[in-house]
A and B are shown apart, each in its own frame.
Chain A
Amino acid sequence: GAGVSQSPSNKVTEKGKDVELRCDPISGHTALYWYRQSLGQGLEFLIYFQGNSAPDKSGLPSDRFSAERTGGSVSTLTIQRTQQEDSAVYLCASSLDGTGGAIDYGYTFGSGTRLTVV
C-alpha cells in the first residue's frame, strides 16, 4: 500500500484479556519495527523483523508480548493477559531494508494503535 496501515486505531480492553494489533507495511519493505509510546514518554523499541525473522526481540517487555510476521508482509503484535501498564500507543514502522547502508530511505510510521486497558 501507499503507507503503513495499523488496525485497530483504538482498542479498549479489560484487564486480563488478550489483544492483537495488526500492521500492514509498505509493499516491498523488508524491515518492520514495533515501538511503544506510553503517555508522556519517549518511543520504546519492541521488536524488529527482517523478512519473516525477528533478529532482535530484546525490547519486548515480558513474555506476555509476542509478535509474528508472515509472508514478509503483515505483522501481528499480541499481548496476552493485558495489564493496565500496557496502555500506550503502539506504533509500527517499515523501511526498505533494515541493514542500513550508504543510501537509505528512512522509516515510515503508521498512525498507531491506542490501547487502553481498563
Chain B
Amino acid sequence: KQEVTQIPAALSVPEGENLVLNCSFTDSAIYNLQWFRQDPGKGLTSLLLIQSSQREQTSGRLNASLDKSSGRSTLYIAASQPGDSATYLCAVRPMDSSYKLIFGSGTRLLVRP
C-alpha cells in the first residue's frame, strides 16, 4: 500500500531564506508526483508536476526534484517571501490505482517578515 510522508510537518523561517520541503513515498511504481499549495480554507493550487521519467521541474523560485528509485522528492523554495506562507502538499499517482492521488499530510510553512 502506497504511503506518502512529508517532513517537517511545520516550518517557520525568516523572509529571504532558501528552504527545502521533503516528501517520501513507499512504492516507486508511480506515474508522476505533484506538489500543491493550499492556503487556509481554500482549494489546492498545483505548483509542479514531475513525470516518473523526469528528475526535476522548475517554476520561478520553485524547484522540485524526483528520485523515484529512492522514493523521494524535494521542493526547494528560493528567497522565501511572506506570501509563500501556506501548506504544501505532495501527492503521487500510483500505477496500481492511477486515478487516485495519494497525498502526504503536508508541511505548514510560515515565512516571517
Interface, chain A (partner B; CB < 8 A): 6, 31, 33, 42-43, 45, 48, 50, 55-56, 89, 91, 93, 95, 98-112, 114
Q: B84 to chain A: closest CB distance in Å?
A: 19
Q: Which of B54-113 contact A (CB under 8 A)?
A: 89, 91, 93, 95, 98-101, 103-106
Q: How far is the CB of B2 from chain A (nearest CB, A)?
A: 12
B49, B89, B100, B105: which contacts A106 (Cβ < 8 A)?
B49
| Residue in contact with A114 in the complex, picked from B41, B93, B103, CB distance below 8 Å | B41
A112 touching B42, Cβ below 8 Å: yes
Whether A107 touches B46, Cβ cut-off 8 Å, given contacts A33-B99, A43-B103, A56-B99, is yes
> Within 8 Å of chain A (Cβ to Cβ): is B32?
yes
How long is the Cα–Cα vector from A107 to B95 in the complex, in angstroms?
Answer: 15
State whether A105 touches B49 (Cβ < 8 A): yes
> How many A-B contacts are there with CB distance less than 8 Å?
68
Q: Are A112 and B100 in contact (CB under 8 A)?
A: no
CB-CB under 8 A from B93, the residues of chain A are 100, 104, 106
CB pair B43 A111 closer than 8 Å: yes
Least CB distance from A3 to B in Å reads: 10
Alpha-carbon distance between A111 and B98 when the two chains are bound, in angstroms? 23
Beta-carbon contact of A98 and B103 below 8 Å: no
The chain A residue with its CB closest to the CB of B104 is: A42
B18-61 Cβ-contact flags toward A at 8 Å (1 or 0)? 00000000000001101010000111111001010100000000
B98 CB contacts on chain A under 8 angstroms:
98-101
Can you list 10 pairs linking A and B with CB atoms under 8 Å apart?
Answer: A42-B104, A42-B106, A48-B100, A91-B44, A98-B98, A99-B99, A100-B95, A104-B51, A111-B43, A112-B42
Q: Are A110 and B43 in contact (CB under 8 A)?
A: yes
A-B contact sample (18 more), CB < 8 A, given A56-B99, A107-B46: A33-B99, A33-B100, A42-B103, A42-B104, A43-B89, A43-B103, A50-B99, A89-B41, A100-B93, A100-B98, A103-B51, A104-B93, A106-B93, A109-B43, A109-B44, A109-B45, A111-B43, A112-B43
